[in-house]
Chain A
Amino acid sequence: MDVEKKSQRQCIFCHNFCKFSCAPYIATKNQKIIQTQKNYLIYMAEMEKIKANTDLGEAVYLCNDCRRCETYCVFENKKVIGNNRYARNLIFKEKLASDRVYEIYDNFIQYGNFLGEKKEAKEIRNSDKDKKYDFFIYAGEYVNFLAPEIKESFIKILTSLNKNFIFCDDEDPDGILALDLGMKELAQKLMENNFKKISRYKFDTLICLDPYSCYGFKNDYKDYGYEFDCGIIHYTEFLENNISDIKINKTDSHIKYFDPCMLSRGLKINDSPRKVLSFINSESNFDLIKNREESECCGGHLSLIFPDVAEAVSAGFLKELESYDDKTEVLVTACPLCLSNLSNVKKSGRFKIYDLAEYISRNID
């Protein structure tokens, strides 16, 4: 049995103990989002016992790939992303996804990005294809379009450290969003283009500003046969190694760290951002009550397709935090989707929300 089929069957034959953890389910109460039901219905559709329909299509896309259910899964090493991509690929091909999904597809085809924006690529540094650099910085689509402040801040940090780095001046999408949305063939093309483009430059380490790209480069690219011949790290790991060289003004605001799902559950990078924070702030514990692999959800890529649900998820998180925590002033995270979703909450209460790169760069001496 192939991996996806086995995983699908585990979810169908399950006691469903991950149910409580699914933020989009809690926000919408759409039973078909949760893994056991979604996989049951997809299986029955595959067996031609029911006809898949747009209701199922909607539910399949209402899961935001946060992987929180994996943390509480009764089966060890569960990979629900495989289930999700499998289900979405079926739904996408059957034309049963919501219009917004097909719009994103068209945007990729026409404009080369999910938003459909003809954005002028800004050249940060002159790039020389023959020169060897220490670092290649890949911002990723979410950073470029939803949270450009992360890129600006990180460049400021690198510049202050006098590092030898390069930004790709016309970055292509990494294909991971397309893959997550069930657009397998398109994703493969995007991955191939991006891989070829990045591979034209000479550098030692690929620093990703977006945990989704980082996870994708390390795992999905490999699965599709595109293996980078360099180190791949998330920028928080770079900061951890270099923070002592940054001249920084310490802050004493009460900070908590919001673990991004792809960083904590996907890449298992939990200590780096905390170590960086401990350089800048005297707080002894940056943990929210649900932290690391148990961390709560910001709404993830739902904001691209179902912004109301994404807002319900992130607003729900902030509202609850406000109800039991009267000390925290600043929430720091390390993901463009978390930053954008949490900041987009219309009433984000008393919290100031920053990405870690942004928070460091604001406090550079």
Chain B
Amino acid sequence: MFPAVTYQVFLLKRFKTRYMKLSACLSYLYKKDDFLEKKLAEIIGKDKVSTDIGDRLCFSRDVTPLCYKWIDLYKLPPYTSDIVASPETTGDVIKIVKFAGENNKKLFIYGGGSGVVGGVIPTERGITLDMSRMCGIINLDEQSLTVEVQSGIIGQNLEDFLNKKNYTLRHFPQSIRSASVGGLIATRSTGQFSTKYGGIENYVVGLEAVLPDGSLLNTGDKPRSSTGPDINNFFIGSEGIFGVITKAILKIYKMPEEVKYQCFIYRDIFCALDSIREIMQSGIKPPVIRLYNSEESRLKFEKLGFNYDGCLLILCFEGKKELVEAEASVAMEICSKMHARDIGGELGKIWFENRFDTRHILEKEEEPGGMSDAIELASSWSKIKKLYTEVEKYFKEKNITLASHFSHAYTTGISVYNIFYLNAKDEKEAIDKFYEVWDDVMGIALENDATISHHHGIGIIKRARLKQELGKGIEIIKKLKDSLDSENIINPGKLIEN
């Protein structure tokens, strides 16, 4: 049986929000909400709604490490929505949003479910909006090099479609095989080739969104405009709270003519960081710059043939052949000046082939009392070394394994990806430690003027610290939310606390 009281206390503690008793949760799992089912079926069609317990459970979890622990602890997420609605058209979304508003039903948007901050987990009862059927490719504009899609399409399915026509997105988050375009926009995602092509904000040319009152916004496909603040940017990183993104027009690229990898070994991670800064500020744009500290170099690459002592720097260059050669030689000169050891490009290719391997994280999640997560911080060049040193010291003191790498470089700074692997005596202690680590490391980041999230978003995991990072900014977000969605219908409890 479920330890009902413990479960409820645990939930209260975790989300600092009101939850119904577990017994109630279990009973409503089996109880159909006939009104909701009947009404939604009437407005969008019977085959687009489901109250099946399996569907509701599937759509109530993402890949937040907490979800894994819940499986072994309680077998259930804290909440499931009452019903899953699967729109096929923007018209369907409008009807559902209007219905939710008129009947004060909460709406939780589910894109690909690859989020790692609990963005899709219902925080109370309501409707899950499953965007997966909105996966059409509407228009490929080969002159403007843009593609217009419905937002539920999975990134890799779009990339495969483009490749068949000799185009490519080049927005390659590691989760491209499961994340949807809508989710990628809503979380302000970035990709492994971001150093040249930028984050999703550099891809979105225009979008269509259904606002919380059911009205439709369409921003067109203009290359740029000076007509007030960029409306696209209200939705990029909005985590769904301002409305449902239904379509997007994204930039695409022609397949690169040439791709070249170069790898270097550095004795000292800070020397390597200086090289990256110089590369970025020299005006060249390698799409991939990844620097692994010596622990992660070993952990990740030893089985793939890495047998060096030091930190691994992977660079990739792509585009026209002449350009690739020129950029590679500029980078080579910078790295040699810093006494880096040139080890050729092979490990870069191996990294590319193995870039989806997340076994080291998953095996930890699966261990009793084990938990792993990635804390993706970013700061300016002038502050990054101190940030890195303090985070590393924190994990050493706590005796928690840490593997870090730097990726996503800019002329002004860089992001650092800290993967930690913790052990606890049981799942409950693991969850407590997990929250403690997150809170402490976000504290260190904020003290160092770094961001608490470079690309995963806030969800329900990082909400408590957001105010500290945004200051007045959070009031703007809250006021916007309030004016667009005064009843807090869409994605309540996400990004900002209720």
A interface, CB within 8 angstroms of B: 9-10, 12-21, 26, 29, 31-32, 37, 40-41, 43-44, 47, 49-51, 53, 55-56, 59, 72, 74-75, 289-290, 320, 324-325
Contacts and interface: CB of A to CB of B under 8 A. Distances in A.
Interface in B333-382: 356-359, 361-362, 365-366
Interface in B54-83: 54-55, 57-59, 61, 63, 68, 71, 75-76
Contacts of A17: 175, 177-178, 356, 358
B130 A47 contact: no
Residue of A19, A55, A56, A325 with highest tally of chain B CB at under 10 A: A19
B132 A31 contact: yes
A17 B53 CA distance: 24
28 contacts: A10-B366, A12-B71, A13-B68, A13-B362, A13-B365, A15-B175, A16-B63, A16-B113, A16-B178, A18-B177, A19-B112, A19-B177, A20-B157, A29-B130, A40-B57, A40-B58, A41-B54, A41-B57, A44-B75, A50-B57, A53-B52, A53-B53, A55-B52, A55-B55, A56-B54, A74-B356, A74-B357, A290-B160
Contacts of B75: 44, 47, 49
A20 B177 contact: yes
A285 to B, nearest CB: 15
B86 A29 contact: yes
Interface in B104-122: 112-114
Contact of A31 (B114, B130, B154): B130
B79 to A, nearest CB: 15
A50 B53 contact: yes
A318 to B, nearest CB: 13
B472 interface: no
Given A12-B71, A37-B58, A29 B357 contact: no
Interface of B: 29, 50, 52-55, 57-59, 61, 63, 68, 71, 75-76, 86, 112-114, 130, 132-133, 135, 154-157, 160-161, 163-165, 175-178, 356-359, 361-362, 365-366
A41 B58 contact: yes
A24 B261 CA distance: 37
A55 B357 contact: no
A55 B63 CA distance: 23
B58 A20 contact: no
A16 B161 CA distance: 20
A50 to B, nearest CB: 5
Contacts of B358: 15, 17, 74
B59 A324 contact: no
Contacts of B50: 55
A56 B56 CA distance: 12
Residue of B54, B55, B63, B113 with highest tally of chain A CB at under 10 A: B54
A55 B481 CA distance: 37
A7 B376 CA distance: 30
Given A17-B356, A19-B177, A75-B359, A31 B365 contact: no
Given A15-B362, A16-B177, A40-B71, 7 more contacts: A17-B177, A20-B160, A26-B157, A40-B57, A40-B61, A55-B55, A324-B164
B57 A15 contact: no
A47 to B, nearest CB: 6
Contacts of B156: 20-21
A29 B132 contact: yes
A38 to B, nearest CB: 9
Contacts of A53: 52-54
Contacts of B135: 26, 29
Contact of B54 (A16, A21, A59): A59
Q: Give the top 9 A-B pairs by smallest Cβ distance, nearest first.
A: A20-B156, A17-B177, A13-B366, A49-B75, A324-B164, A19-B178, A37-B58, A55-B52, A20-B154
Contacts of A15: 63, 114, 175, 178, 358, 361-362
Nearest to B134: A29
A324 B161 CA distance: 9
A19 B175 CA distance: 10
B54 A32 contact: yes
Contacts of A51: 53
Nearest to B112: A19
B301 to A, nearest CB: 16
Given A13-B366, A15-B358, A320-B164, A31 B55 contact: yes
Contact of A10 (B165, B357, B362): B362
A72 B358 CA distance: 12
Contacts of A290: 160
A74 B359 contact: yes
Nearest to B366: A13
B54 to A, nearest CB: 5
A43 B68 CA distance: 13
B112 to A, nearest CB: 7
B250 to A, nearest CB: 17
Nearest to A296: B160
A204 to B, nearest CB: 40
Residue of A20, A72, A74 with highest tally of chain B CB at under 10 A: A20
A49 B76 contact: yes
A320 B157 CA distance: 12
B412 to A, nearest CB: 31
A72 B356 contact: yes
A289 B164 CA distance: 7
Nearest to A56: B54
Contacts of B133: 29
A43 B86 CA distance: 25
B387 to A, nearest CB: 27
A19 B154 contact: yes
Nearest to A21: B177
B4 to A, nearest CB: 14
A14 B130 contact: no
Contacts of B71: 12-13, 40, 43
Contacts of A13: 68, 71, 362, 365-366
A180 to B, nearest CB: 22
Given A49-B75, A324-B165, A32 B178 contact: no
A290 B156 CA distance: 13
A16 B154 CA distance: 12
B58 A31 contact: yes
B136 to A, nearest CB: 12
Given A31-B55, A37-B58, A55-B54, A14 B362 contact: yes
A32 B58 contact: yes
A17 B177 CA distance: 5
Residue of B50, B55, B76 with highest tally of chain A CB at under 10 A: B55
Nearest to A14: B362
Contacts of B356: 17, 72, 74
Contacts of B178: 15-17, 19-20
Contacts of B59: 31
Given A31-B58, A41-B57, A289 B177 contact: no
A14 B362 CA distance: 6
Residue of A15, A40, A43, A50 with highest tally of chain B CB at under 10 A: A15
Contacts of B176: 20
Contacts of B163: 289
B129 to A, nearest CB: 13
A290 B163 CA distance: 10
A154 B347 CA distance: 47
A55 B32 CA distance: 15
A44 B26 CA distance: 13
A46 to B, nearest CB: 10
A43 B70 CA distance: 13
B28 to A, nearest CB: 13
A258 B19 CA distance: 53
Nearest to A42: B54
A290 B157 CA distance: 12
Contact of A16 (B86, B114, B165, B365): B114
